[in-house]
Amino acid sequence: MKQTLTQYDLEDVLEAVSQQEEVQTVSSLRLPSYRPTPWALVNRLLDIVDNVTNGRADWVLRFFTYSFIGGFAALVNLAVFALVLYAIPMPGVQDVVHNLIASLLATEISLMANFIPNDYFTFRHLAGHQRTWGQRCLRYHLTSIVGSVLTYLIQIGFRYVGHVPAFLGQAIALILVLFYNFAFHHIFTYRHVKHAVS
């Protein structure tokens, strides 16, 4: 026989509905993937990003911070590159060698301008941050060597194959290599530290 709602005890029905609402409320609550900031507006935006990206707001925030710091380091890179290439004459040195010297100096100075703030602000909550500062700096350099070689090759390709001015080629190369560097700092520089099993 089919029972109607009036045949059930009203208190039992209300209790069941209340328990179901509690379960739905608890299941809809989840911790944010990011570390909350002191700013409520930023946290609200990150909550939206967390919902849209299915819990990856920490990656989005880290990429934004990395890109912001990287933008400053790119300006340092371009300033040093332009200074060495255009303002410091090197008589008797071929144009390609002069370009290489400018690239190497710009790379190392901007790499440290990139590493120091990124180590503190962007990657400090990742598991690999428990390594010593020297180990992190070395790993950052190792990861960045490939990025620097890619930047140089792309810039040289633009300059000597595409006949693009060196400064513009350097800027384009820095933007292209940004994604490689960000990914490999996660994969290598700041990955989880494996402990020896005794």
Taking the domains of the chain in order of start, what are their residue ranges? 62-189
pTM of the full structure: 0.69
pLDDT of residue 2: 53
How many angstroms separate the CA atoms of 34 and 32, rounded? 5
Q: How many other C-beta atoms are found inside a 10 Å radius of the C-beta of residue 162?
A: 11
* Per-residue pLDDT at 129: 85
Q: Residue range 168-181: average pLDDT? A: 87
**Residues 134, 149: Cα–Cα separation, whole Å:** 22
What percent of the chain is predicted at pLDDT more than 90?
Answer: 28
Cβ atoms 155, 170 nearer than 8 A: yes
Q: What was the pLDDT predicted at 4? A: 52
In tens, the pLDDT along 112-165 reads 999 999 999 888 888 888 899 999 999 999 988 888 889 889 999 999 999 999
Best CA proximity match to 174, nearest among 64, 59, 63, 67: 67
Instruction: Give the dihedral sign, CA 136/141/143/147.
Output: positive
Grade residue 26 by pLDDT with cuts at 50, 70 and 90. very low
Residue whose entry in the numeric block shows the structure tokens 């609402």: 21
For 7-35, what is the mean pLDDT?
A: 62
At 60-83, the pLDDT tens digits run: 888 999 999 988 998 998 899 999
Number of residues in the chain: 198
* CB-facing half-sphere around the CA of 20: CA atoms within 13 A: 6
pLDDT at 90: 87
**Helix axis angle, 57-82 to 40-52, nearest 10°:** 110
Q: How confident is the model at residue 27 (pLDDT cuts 50, 70, 90)?
A: very low
Q: Confidence band (pLDDT; 50, 70, 90) for 59?
A: confident
Dist. CA 181–CA 197, nearest whole Å: 31
